[in-house]
Amino acid sequence: MAGRKVVTQCTAAEWRSMCRRVKSCIPPPEGYAWRFVWSTALEGDEGDCSRVLGKDGRLGTFRIRVAKGLSEKQTIDVLLHECAHAFDWTEHHGWLTDHSSTFWIWLGRLFRRYHGLE
C-alpha cells in the first residue's frame, strides 16, 4: 500500500540508545539504580519491573525487563511504563501490582522528560 510505513523491530543500537537516554534524563528513585534488560523470556508487548534488594536488605536496583521484538516506539513506551511503576511504588503505593491513579501521573511526567518536554 502506498504511503504506509513498514514497522520494524527495535535494533540493539536503538535499545542501547534509549537506555542511555533514560539513565541520563530520568534518574531512578533515590537510593536505587536502574538495570534494563531486553528479554526474549517475555512475550508480545510485555514488560515488568522488580526490585532487587541491596546487600543491606533495603535499597537496591530496579530491574526493568522489556520484550524483544517490539518496534522502537513500543519499546520506549514499555520501558517508560515500567519505570513509572518504580516511582509509583516507592513514592505512593508500596509494591501494588495494579495501576494506581498516581501511576498515570508518573507515566506522563516520564514521557515528558524522555521527549524533552519537561
Output the pTM of the full model. 0.87
Q: How far apart are CA 54 and CA 26, in angstroms?
A: 21
Q: Do β-strands 33-39 and 47-53 pair in parallel, antiparallel, or remain unpaired?
A: unpaired
Higher pLDDT, 105 or 59: 105
Of the pLDDT bands very low, low, confident and very high (cuts 50, 70, 90), residue 10 is very high
Q: Take residue 28 and report the three cell numbers written for it.
A: 531512578
Q: For the residues 81-91, what does the mean pLDDT come to?
A: 89
Q: For the residues 36-57, what does the mean pLDDT come to?
A: 87
Of the pLDDT bands very low, low, confident and very high (cuts 50, 70, 90), residue 23 is very high
How many residues belong to the chain?
118
pLDDT greater than 70 at residue 1: no
- All structural domains of the chain: 12-114 (3.30.2010)
Q: Do β-strands 47-53 and 60-67 pair in parallel, antiparallel, or remain unpaired?
A: antiparallel
pLDDT greater than 70 at residue 94: no
pLDDT of residue 92: 67
Kindly report the average pLDDT of the chain as a whole number: 88
pLDDT of residue 38: 95
pLDDT of residue 31: 86
